[in-house]
């Protein structure tokens, strides 16, 4: 009886991503990066039905759940370069989801705050992202999802002081 080829070897299987070279198969940063890319792509695809990108949903979430923020603070928090942030905000403002106003203590800065329709769009986007998360994590059991979330949270928070 013939043995199925090792999917981790060469080529691309009928189902799934291309096979990886040996030096990349177990390289966690690479796998995290690729998984994040896949998740981001699915989020953008699903959010497109309401005319938003994942980055724009992130902006709406930040300014709705935290507080109005400067463009610079948003860019730093979401790791989006300044030029891209301006374009994303221009689009959100054109849609009526955010408003920019001069910062009361810094004339050079703009505060970004959600509008009523922006708050509603954020709620709709979060519903879509909940479904995106369910689909993306479907290959994992509930226990594995919880374990993955806990491990990623630890990585995100960084090493313990003195560690």
Please tell us whether the domain made up of 53-145 is placed in CATH 1.10.3720.10: no
Cα separation, 10 vs 24, in Å, equals 12
Q: How confident is the model at residue 19 (pLDDT cuts 50, 70, 90)?
A: confident
Q: What is the pLDDT of residues 25-81, one digit of tens each?
A: 889 999 999 999 999 999 999 999 999 999 999 999 999 999 889 999 999 999 999
What residue segments make up the domains of the chain, in order of their start?
53-145
Q: What is the pLDDT of residues 115-138, one digit of tens each?
A: 999 999 999 999 999 999 999 999
Q: Is the pLDDT of residue 113 over 60?
A: yes
Q: Is the pLDDT of residue 162 over 80?
A: no
Burial 124-156 (b: 16+ CB within 10 A, else e): ebeebbeebeeebeeeeeeeeeeeeeeeeeeee
Cα separation, 121 vs 161, in Å, equals 39
């Amino acid at each position: 009886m013939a043995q199925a080829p090792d999917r981790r070897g060469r080529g691309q299987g009928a189902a799934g991503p291309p096979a990886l070279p040996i030096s990349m198969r177990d390289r966690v940063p690479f796998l995290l990066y690729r998984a994040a890319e896949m998740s981001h792509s699915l989020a953008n695809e699903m959010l497109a039905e309401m005319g938003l990108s994942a980055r724009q949903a992130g902006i709406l979430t930040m300014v709705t759940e935290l507080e109005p923020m400067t463009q610079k603070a948003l860019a730093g928090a979401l790791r989006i370069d300044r030029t891209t942030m301006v374009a994303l905000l221009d689009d959100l403002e054109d849609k009526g989801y955010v408003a920019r106003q001069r910062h009361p203590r810094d004339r050079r800065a703009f505060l970004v705050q959600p509008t009523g329709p922006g708050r509603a769009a954020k709620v709709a986007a979060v519903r879509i992202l909940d479904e995106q998360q369910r689909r993306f994590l479907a290959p994992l059991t509930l226990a594995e999802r919880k374990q993955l979330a806990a491990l990623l949270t630890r990585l995100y928070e960084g090493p313990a002081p003195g560690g």
